[in-house]
Amino acid sequence: MNDGLQVSKGDFNAAQALIEANLPRRANKIAIIDGAGAHTYGELAARIDACGAALLAEGARPGDRVALCMLDSLDMVACFLGSIKAGLIPAPLNTLLQAGDYAHILADSGARLAVVSSHILDRVGAGAASAGWAGRIIASDPSDPAHCQLSDLARSTGPLAAAPADSAAPAFWLYSSGSTGRPKGVIHRHASLGHTADLFARQVLGLREDDVIYSAAKLFFAYGLGNALTFPLSVGATVVLLPDRPTPEVVWPLLRSHDVTMFFGVPTLYASMLAHPEAASGAPALRLCVSAGEPLPAEIGRRWREHYATEIIDGVGSTEMLHIFVSNRPGAVRHGASGIATPGYELRLVTEDDREAAEGELGELHVRGPSAAAGYWNQPEKSAATFQDGWVRTGDRFRRDEAGHFVYCGRADDMLKVSGIWVSPTEVEAALVEHEAVLEAAVVGVTDQNNLTRVKAYVVPRAGVEGDVLLAEKLKAFAKARLAPYKYPRQIEFVPELPKTATGKVRRHVLREQG
């Protein structure tokens, strides 16, 4: 049998393909470990069928959207795949949003049903009421008697027939984080799950059946959906799902107790884990780590490698492309760079005057590949601006270094022009975090009394370090010694934490407003 999720043209139901990749040969192998215990591939397959049948029994019809606002668990996976298998279109939602956000998404998506974890019911219910949403809420656990219970609906019903679907047809939606406006529904196709599993998880990471995976990014993120659902299920690996917030106090013991071999994190978490007392014990089973969401500072990557003899593979992905399309390679990590194109993807850098950028020159990154979304739901103008002739405009600025690796230089609207020269905030931030007193840093442009742009850094000191005038002067000198003179921060403000989106990205526009 050929391992992995095989994508074919024509009739292709992504959920059925994932399930059949593991049955019957792996029916008794552990697929998921969550807060309720361990679940085999056979049990997962049965739960997928039961959840899909339950949603159909509640009145959903093929093509209807089903909002999933659920903690990471067996039932989150089962509802996502059960929806797809039944011909419905699941839309995983960020569990950290407020009622107003849910009101917008429920109204925008036109979802027929919403499956919601108990501790989020009040917020989703308030959003549904304010939007005048006419759909039905199903509680995903038995803790709220006021709502219909998934556990009551999803009885064993036997096999569920997979709804016929074309590989290019819409299979699920993901809502963008909304860091630059209202969340947008991103429409993904059946074939895209298989493409990301093959091109990144198998060909770049070398994911195996004997791997145990943990992803700090949750299933409602594009990054987490691949890490913790598509990738492990595509090769028959085991995934650990944690409903809690992934703090170092929780993650370090989890990595050790479950002998996790592949860990997917974000830069801020890696930095916090290195600074935590639990870091001394490490996680001996780890063979590879992955980072995305924001560029991984070179110093963090080097320190992690020195401490644990394990590489962090930094990469770049987006909701529109579903997963990582620029990545470093195991055994060939270039610290401070995002890497090269993932197999199957094409990249180009386009300058402001619409030409191909030369080596070392800044340009907006455009990407083309098989996992590109079909567009944004009900947003024709934004779709036209982002999806152009097969290329997806990322809005990110990069340059190519002498080795052909792509180096992230910030969002187009984050770039600073100081003394008539472009400055990348991430370059300045990377210099600052090399200092032993700095845990995190974010750089923005502020206007001085002469209406000129100057570089300002917001710095989170390490535990036990006092952020004072003396340290600020030391950091300025430290950065000046590593950067061109016009790039070092003229102002440094110490803060207890940086404002971030739910995906862990720094909200620089908030810092600009403060500055």
Fold of 416-514: GMP Synthetase; Chain A, domain 3 (3.30.300)
Average pLDDT, the chain: 91
Average pLDDT over residues 428-450: 89
Task: Supply the pLDDT for residue 9.
Answer: 60
Report how far residue 372's alpha carbon sits from residue 345's, in angstroms, rounded to the nearest whole number: 10
**How much of the chain exceeds pLDDT 70, in percent?**
94
The pLDDT assigned to 180 comes to: 46
Instruction: Kindly write down the DSSP assignment for every residue of 430-483, as one continuous string.
Output: HHHTTSTTEEEEEEEEEE-TTS-EEEEEEEEEPTT----HHHHHHHHHHHHTTS
Query: Do 457 and 471 form a contact (C-beta atoms < 8 A)?
Result: no
Amino acid residing at 136: R
**What percentage of the chain carries pLDDT values higher than 90?**
76
Beta strands, E only, 19-110? 30-34, 37-40, 65-69, 89-92
The burial of 485, by beta-carbon neighbours within 10 Å (0-12 exposed, 13-18 middle, 19 or more buried), is given as exposed
**How far is residue 106 from each of residues 66, 90, 102, 400, 473, measured CA to CA in Å?**
10, 12, 6, 41, 50
Using the predicted structure, report yes or no on whether residue 440 has a pLDDT greater than 60.
yes
Q: What's the confidence (pLDDT) of residue 1?
A: 33
Average pLDDT score over residue span 500-506: 78
pLDDT beyond 90 at 141 = no
More reliable by pLDDT, 29 or 504: 29
pTM: predicted TM-score of the whole model, two decimal places = 0.84
Cβ-in-10-Å burial (0-12, 13-18, 19+) of 328 comes to buried
Per-residue model confidence (pLDDT) at position 183: 84
d(CA 497, CA 294): 16
Q: What is the largest CA-CA distance in the chain?
A: 73
- In this structure, the number of other CB atoms found within 10 A of the CB of residue 261 comes to 21
Q: Where are the domains of the chain?
A: 22-164, 199-411, 416-514
Q: What is the mean pLDDT of residues 292-300?
A: 88
pLDDT tens profile 35-52: 999 999 999 999 999 999
pLDDT at position 349: 97
- Give the CA-trace dihedral at 452, 455, 456, 457, to 10 degrees: 170
Compute the average pLDDT of residues 463-485: 92
Q: What pLDDT sits at residue 186? A: 97
CA-based torsion, 9, 10, 14, 19: positive or negative: negative
Question: Residue 502: pLDDT above 80?
Answer: no
Q: Residue 308: pLDDT above 60?
A: yes
Q: Over 90: is that where the pLDDT of 415 sits?
A: no
Alpha-carbon distance values, 261 to 178, 208, 210, 283 (Å): 32, 10, 9, 9
pLDDT tens for residues 155-166? Answer: 877 899 999 999
Among 3-12, 176-185, 472-481, the range scoring the smallest mean pLDDT is 3-12
Assess whether the region 22-164 and the region 199-411 belong to the same CATH fold: yes
Q: How far is CA 345 from the centre of its chain?
A: 19
Least confident of 17-21, 107-111, 146-150, 305-309: 146-150
Assigned CATH class of 22-164: alpha beta
3-state secondary structure of 342: coil
- Let me know if 89 is exposed, middle or buried by CB neighbors in 10 A (0-12, 13-18, 19+): buried
For residues 151 and 7, give the distance between their C-alpha atoms in angstroms, rounded to a whole number: 32
Residues in a beta bridge with 492: 457
State the Cα angle at 279 between 277 and 280, rounded to 5°.
Answer: 85
Burial class (CB in 10 A: 0-12, 13-18, 19+), 20: middle
Task: Give residue-wise pLDDT tens across range 197-245.
Answer: 999 999 999 999 999 999 999 999 999 999 999 999 999 999 999 999 8
CA distances from 202 to 4, 13, 231, 237, 263 (A): 8, 21, 8, 12, 15
What confidence category does residue 4 fall into, taking pLDDT thresholds of 50, 70 and 90? low
Q: Quick one: average pLDDT of 483-511?
A: 87
Cα separation, 315 vs 340, whole angstroms: 9
Tokens representing residue 501 in the block = 């989106």
**Overall CATH class of domain 199-411:** alpha beta
